[in-house]
Amino acid sequence: MANIVIRSDEANAAATALTLAARNHSVCLLTLALAPGEHDFSYFGERRTLPLRRVEELDPSAPRVGIVFAEGEDIKAGIRSVVGSTSPDLLVIIGGGITAAVESTEAAQSLGFDVCRILLAGAFLVGGNASAVRSEKQGVLAGFLAPGTPAPVVELAESTFPQISIGDAFSVALSSVNALFHLPPMILNAMSVERADDVRFYVEGFGDSVSRLLLELDADRLRLGAALGRVLVPIEELNDRYSGDADKHGTTLREKVNSPLSTQSIKLPSSFHHRFLAHELRSTFAPMSELADALGVDVPTIRSVVRLGEILLGSELGPEARAAAGKFLGLIDAKADSAR
C-alpha cells in the first residue's frame, strides 16, 4: 500500500481520495473542503467510514505518491504543495491537456524534482464527490513526461492505479477527454448558460448537434496528432474504453453520453468562465490551434471554437496559447533527442 497526498479542491479529488482510502492506502487530501478524520462515504453503493490522514500520520516506510488535479487549478502551486509536503516517488497529474505537460515540466525543473517521475493522466480516474464514488474509469491513457523512468516507479503507478494504460505522454496531452466533452455543450448552449437555465449538462445539454461538433473537433485533433507523428485514439473509442460496464448504454455517441446514471445530475454551468469553457480552451484547444499553425495543419473546427470562445470570454487567447504550443513542441523534440 502507498502513502498518497492529493492537492485539489475539485469534487472528484475528494472521491478519488476516499476511493483510494477504501483500498487501504494512507491518503492525505490537501484542501480545506475535506479535513483529516473519518468520513462517511458510499463506495460503489456500500456505506463505509473512511479515514483521511494528516501528512505527519502517513507511514514513513511506504512508497509515496502525489496527485495534482490540473482541471482549471494552479498546477505549479499544486506541485509545489505536494512536493514540499511529501517528496513523492511518483507524481501524477490528472488532466490539463497541453498546458499540463508544459507547466508540470517547468514546475518540476524549478523545484529540482525528477521529471521522469511525473505521470500525466488524460482523464479523471473515478467519478464522484465527497459523499460517493459512482464510477471508475477504465484504460485511462497516461504517460511519463520524460524518458528514463525507473521500473519501480512504473510498477508503483500500475499497482496504485490499475485503470491506467501507460503510453506516450504527448499523445495523452492531446487526448483530454474532459476538454472534448465539455466544450461543445458550452458553446452550443450559450444562451442557456447566460440565463442560468436548469439544464442537465450531459442530457438536455448534449444533443445530436453537440455530438456532431465534438466529432468534428476530434477529426481536427486526429489530423494534428498525425502531423506530430502520433496515432491518437478517436474520442468514440476513448469514451467506450473509459466507461464502466454500468454506464454502457445506447449505440450513438449522444445516447452513450445521455444515459449513464453517474452523470445525470451534473448541471450546465451558469458562467462562461467556468472551467468547462475557459480552462478547456486555454489548456487544450487554443494551444492546439497554435500547434496547427506552426505545423501547417488545417483544423477549421478547432479554430472556430477558439474564436467563439474568445468572444464569449471577452479575452484573447492567442499569445498565451502560442507560448504553450512552442514549449510543448520543445518538450516533444527534447524527448525525441534523449530517446535516440
Is the pLDDT at 248 greater than 80? The verdict is: no
Q: Which CATH superfamily is domain 3-173 in?
A: NAD(P)-binding Rossmann-like Domain (3.40.50.720)
Q: What is the mean pLDDT of residues 302-316?
A: 98
Listed in order, the ranges of the chain carrying CATH 1.10.1040.10 are: 177-339
Rounded to 10 deg, the angle between the 97-111 and 75-86 helix axes is 40
CA distance 199 to 243: 23
Give the residue among 210, 223, 216, 260 at the shortest CA–CA distance from 240: 260
Q: Give domain 177-339's CATH number out of 1.10.1040.10, 3.20.20.70, 2.60.120.10, 3.90.550.10.
A: 1.10.1040.10
Q: Which residue has the higher pLDDT, 111 or 138?
A: 111
Give residue 335's pLDDT.
Answer: 67
Delimit the CATH 3.40.50.720 region(s) of the chain. 3-173
pLDDT digits (tens, 9 = 90+) for 133-161: 988 888 999 999 999 999 999 999 999 99
User: In whole numbers, what is the pLDDT of the chain averaged over residues?
Assistant: 94
CB 41 within 8 A of CB 18: yes
Placement of cell 446514471 in the chain: 261
Q: What does the pLDDT look like over 262-308, one tens digit per residue? A: 788 899 999 999 999 999 999 999 999 999 999 999 999 999 999 99
CA distance linking residue 160 with residue 142, whole number of Å: 13
What is the DSSP secondary structure assignment for residue 270, as one 8-state letter? S
